[in-house]
Amino acid sequence: MPLKLRPLLLAALPFALCAGWALSTPVQAATQVVQVRDLPIGAGRPKVIVSTSGKTAEQVLEQGHAAAGSTAVDILELRLDLLTFATDADQVAALGRQLVQALGGKPLLLTFRSKREGGAGELDDAAYAALYGKLLQAGFADLIDVEMRRDERSIKALVVEAHKTGAKVILSSHDFQGTPSNADMLKRLQRQQALGADILKLAVMPHDGGDVARLLQVTWNMHERSPRPLLIMAMGGTGTVSRLAGETFGSALTFGSQGQASAPGQIEADVLHQTLEALHQARQSSS
């Protein structure tokens, strides 16, 4: 085992072992695999997403080629809110088509992240929905990330439009101030499911290990109740272990970094991939 993996595996071990209290309920929902191109989300090890950080088309395309050439990267997230031309749908669509070619079959996720959710963008609900609508009609997106705090009618319309074009929808909720109560976190995920999301996403900021443990408990509880794949993480250094423990607790996706991290606590994609693969193999050998 590479030496750089050992600290990560040792950090993940206590949380994997504490799955005993989570595994006490024998019945759980079978995860519905979401197929995106050749990638089965919800089967095998958690899939790794990396995000673009470029402001120009040239910078983003360079990052796209790097992601395409990396065995550690499963999905590329195009962060629209960071682009200098973020609200120009025609320019974004042209870039998106180029990225699809560069990725060589790897899925492309579109995300416009607002400031209140930890991003750089500022669009009201109508403009946000209109931008996504135009980009979906352009037909290059495999997945889109929609913030669940947006207008409910806009969310439902985007879910319908996405599914018409064959794109999958991640509904997301971010809390950079703390970790809500277990009931609140579970309620957010259940609402995402009710709104028609294909993948349910929750990211929180823990203040201590107890917050991380609560998030993992909620992850398992939702995994028991819902067939939808989950994308759940605690941010920051304290929460890093949650990015490794997904397969044990039911989270099917995670974020890594390739260059600049898009959120606090991300692990470099190559190390993350190797660690997830090692944990997956250990689970397989003991089953």
Has 4 been annotated as catalytic?
no
pLDDT, residue 264, reads 72
Check: CB of residue 147 under 8 Å from CB of residue 91: no
For the CA atoms of 150, 129, 50, 280, the dihedral, rounded to the nearest 10 degrees, stands at 60
Evaluate if residue 22 carries a pLDDT over 50. Answer: no
pLDDT, residue 287, reads 67
Question: pLDDT (tens digit, 9 = 90+) per residue, 221-262?
Answer: 999 999 999 999 999 999 999 999 999 999 999 999 997 766
Evaluate if residue 7 carries a pLDDT over 60. Answer: no
Give strand pairing partners of 48: 254
Number of residues assigned to the chain: 287
pLDDT, residue 21, reads 41
| Strands in the chain per DSSP E | 34-36, 39-41, 47-51, 75-79, 108-111, 143-147, 168-175, 199-204, 230-234, 253-257, 267-268
Has 201 been annotated as catalytic?
yes
Among positive and negative, which fits the CA dihedral 163, 109, 65, 41? negative
Domain boundaries, the chain: 3-21+29-254+266-286
Whole-Å CA distances, 114 to 22, 25, 218, 248:
34, 38, 25, 31
Check: CB of residue 245 under 8 Å from CB of residue 222: no
pLDDT, residue 35, reads 98
pLDDT, residue 260, reads 75
In the block, residue with structure tokens 């397989």 = 284
Give the pLDDT band (50/70/90) at residue 31.
confident
Q: Of the listed 47, 201, 223, 273, which one is catalytic?
A: 201
Rounded to an integer, the average pLDDT of 47-54 is 97
Give the pLDDT band (50/70/90) at residue 19.
very low
Instruction: Tell me which residue of 223, 278, 215 sits closest to 241, measured CA to CA.
Output: 215
Rounded to an integer, the average pLDDT of 202-217 is 98
Evaluate if residue 5 carries a pLDDT over 80. Answer: no
Domain 3-21+29-254+266-286: homologous superfamily in CATH: Aldolase class I (3.20.20.70)
Give the pLDDT band (50/70/90) at residue 30.
confident
Evaluate if residue 162 carries a pLDDT over 50. Answer: yes
Evaluate if residue 4 carries a pLDDT over 60. Answer: no
pLDDT, residue 1, reads 47
Q: Of the listed 47, 174, 223, 273, which one is catalytic?
A: 174
By DSSP bridging, strand 253-257 and strand 230-234 are: unpaired
For the CA atoms of 155, 202, 204, 25, the dihedral, rounded to the nearest 10 degrees, stands at 140
Question: pLDDT (tens digit, 9 = 90+) per residue, 97-145?
Answer: 999 999 999 999 999 999 999 999 999 999 999 999 999 999 999 999 9
pLDDT, residue 23, reads 39
Q: Using the 8-state DSSP alphabet, how is residue 88 labeled?
A: -
Joined tokens for residue 34: 């979401």
Evaluate if residue 150 carries a pLDDT over 50. Answer: yes
Check: CB of residue 148 under 8 Å from CB of residue 173: yes
